[in-house]
Structure formats: structure tokens, C-alpha cells
Amino acid sequence: MKKIEVIQNVLEANEIIASRNRQLLDKHKVLVVNIMSAPGAGKTSLILETLTRLKDRLNIGVIEGDVASTVDAEKVQSEAKAVVQINTRNMPESCSLMAAMIESALKDMPLNDIDLILIENVGNLICPAEFALGEHKRVVISSLPEGDDKPIKYPLIFVDADAVVINKMDLLPHVDFDIGAFRRSIAGLNPDVEVFELSSKTGEGVEKWCSWILEQTKADATR
Amino acid sequence: MHELGVTENIVNIALTKAGEAQANRIIRINLVVGELSGFVPDCIQFYFDTLSKGTIAQGAMLHFESVPTQLRCRDCSAIFQPQDTMWTCPECRGQSIEIFKGRELYVESMEVE
């Protein structure tokens, strides 16, 4: 019997594909934003709002990840330049998008005609934290009805985020959500993170979010 | 929740390394799993037993070394283990905290013959 030293990251296979995706995207100067949240926090609604406000200025593609159905893809179809639906139900894993799924979705995206791709990840605060997709920016949406303790319960996804969106701000008078406590938890985990307070329903705060997205695409284009 | 894909990777890594070492059988695989990584060892072993059937890894024992979460305070650089879900520095009460250890997931070594 002999012992072999290995020291190999188990997620390396995913990370290799993610960096391949990133190279392809950079070659075509496409900015990719990976949008993650619990189910029902408002990923699709925010994507729709973003499409409505930015579609005249950017060519936007959407990659929709869901365990099943094409409901979300149908919602964004008319506003986006291109939409690819990924159903994870028949994949080895259904709880998160993974780099290989994005690699195959990118084959169906007209990358030469696209400035920005919004990826709607599977609704889940645990698994998507572990899998890089090749994205440039990672965004987490938390909505008021979920409570202000999510960064404490699911720190990893907030640690790696570039931006956090606090959604459903119109519900603030009706729920016990301490914005200050939530912001302090996030700032503790991730001091450089951008935080947006908005409501996709009323449109309040969405403009500021869209400006941030525009800034990122400009920074991306000059890279 | 995503242990199946992870276990496929573990089997692939083990078979590749065993092949390079010209081993006939894999007896034990030593894995290092960080407490924060969210992977469930029992679940990995369950998938492993199925995925390794008919390979030289069949019957191998998986050994999991768990790495406790260690945090570092960005204000005073103290390294500490969180006592509860509130990540507060026990030295300076600071709340700007980074993860020092606990996200690991790697194959450390294997025993083969």
C-alpha cells in the first residue's frame, strides 16, 4: 500500500470551464451579471425592469436558470435581444447553474450583437455561492419579506457579491425589516459591496441600479 | 444539495491520480472539507459508492477531515472561531470580518495498492 499526495480542488473542473467562459465573453466584450437570490425575491422582475429601461441603450441577452418550466423566459422574451432557458431538472445538479451549463447556453447567444448578459440563477442562497460561471459581477437580491437576517444565515453568497439589491422596498411599512442592521451585516462581511434599495413594483430606486449596470458595461468596453 | 456533481469530480480526480500512479486499487481517499462549504459527507459517500462501482475505486473508504470555520477581524487582525451565527470579533468587538478558513473542498491524498 502506498500513499499518493493529491491536493486538488474538487471544484476545479467547474472553475476551469468558468475561466474559459470568461475568456470567450471578454473576447466579445460582453459583460455578464450573475443574479442570485432565494425563490421569490424578485430576480425576474428586476431583470424585466432592467430590460425595459436599458433596452434602447444596450443589447441585452438573458440566460434563465430554473429547475423546470419556461415561464421566466417567456416573460422576458419580448424585451430581450436573446433569451436562453436552462432547465436544471435533468442535469446532474438542479440547485444551481454551473459553468458547463453557461458554456452551452453561450453557444446559443449572438455574442457579437450583445453588450450585456443577465443570468438568472436558480432560486437558492446556498449552492450558487459555490459555483463560478465566468461572470464579471455577482449580484444578490434580498427582499424585505425574507427578513434582515439572511447575511447571517447565508454568509458565503454575500461575501462574494459585488452588489446587493434590497428589493420590495414598498413593503417596508408592513414588515419588520431593519435596513440598518441588514446593511451593517453586509458591510461587515463585504466592505466594498454596492447596496441598492429599490422596488421593482413601484420603480423606486431602479434608475440607480440601472446606472450602476451601465457604468459596469462602460468599464467593460474599455477593458 | 449538489453533492452528486461534486462526487463525480472526486471519482474523476481519484481515478486519474491512481492511473498516473499505476495503482490497481484505491483503498482510501482523504478529503478536506471546510465547515462553511455546505457539503454533507454522508451524502458524498452515498453517491461515491454508486459512482465508483466497477472501477478501481469501488469499496474505497472516504475520510473527511473537517476544517472548522476561522474568521479574521479586518480591524485588529485577530483570528477566531465564531461562537454563534453573529460574526463579531471577540478582541475588539469589530464586525468587519473575513473568512480565513472553512471554505475548503479538496482531495488531500489517497492510499492505493
pLDDT tens-place string over residues B47-95: 999 999 999 999 999 999 999 999 999 999 999 999 877 788 999 999 8
CATH for B3-68+102-112 is: 3.30.2320.50
- The helices-and-strands tally (H runs, E runs) of chain B is 2, 6
The residue extents of the domains of chain B are 3-68+102-112
Instruction: Give the pLDDT score at B66.
Output: 94
Instruction: Give the pLDDT score at B37.
Output: 87
Instruction: Give the pLDDT score at A223.
Output: 57
Distance (Å) from the alpha carbon of B79 to chain A's nearest alpha carbon: 15
- Give dist(CA B81, CA B62) in Å, integer: 26
Contacts of A187 in chain B (CB under 8 A): 95-96
State how beta strands B70-73 and B97-101 pair: antiparallel
- Give dist(CA A66, CA A94) in Å, integer: 8
3-state helix, strand, coil in chain B (%, to 5): 30, 30, 40
Yes or no, beta carbons of A127 and B38 under 8 Å apart: yes
Instruction: Give the pLDDT score at B112.
Output: 97
Instruction: Give the pLDDT score at A94.
Output: 77
3-class DSSP assignment, residue A194: strand
Q: What's the residue count for chain A?
A: 223
Task: Tell me the pTM.
Answer: 0.92
Instruction: Give the pLDDT score at B84.
Output: 74
Instruction: Give the pLDDT score at B1.
Output: 59
Instruction: Give the pLDDT score at A170.
Output: 98
Rg (C-alpha) for chain A, rounded Å, is 18
ipTM of the complex: 0.86
Nearest CA in chain B to A15: B9
Maximum CA pair distance of chain B?
A: 55
| Segment 1-30 of chain B within 8 Å of chain A by CB | 1-2, 4-6, 8-10, 12-14, 17-18, 21, 23, 27
Structure letter (DSSP) for residue B55: S
Contacts of A9 in chain B (CB under 8 A): 105-106
CA distances from B70 to A150, B66, B74 (A): 20, 12, 13
* Domains in chain A: ranges and CATH: 12-221 (3.40.50.300)
Instruction: Give the pLDDT score at A92.
Output: 66
Number of neighbours of residue A5 by Cβ within 10 angstroms: 11
Yes or no, beta carbons of A188 and B97 under 8 Å apart: yes
Per residue of chain A (223 residues), give pLDDT as tens.
899 999 999 999 999 999 999 999 999 999 999 999 999 999 999 999 999 999 999 999 999 998 788 888 888 888 999 999 998 877 766 788 999 999 999 999 999 999 999 999 999 999 999 999 999 999 999 999 999 999 999 999 999 999 999 999 999 999 999 999 999 999 999 999 999 999 999 999 999 999 999 999 998 766 5
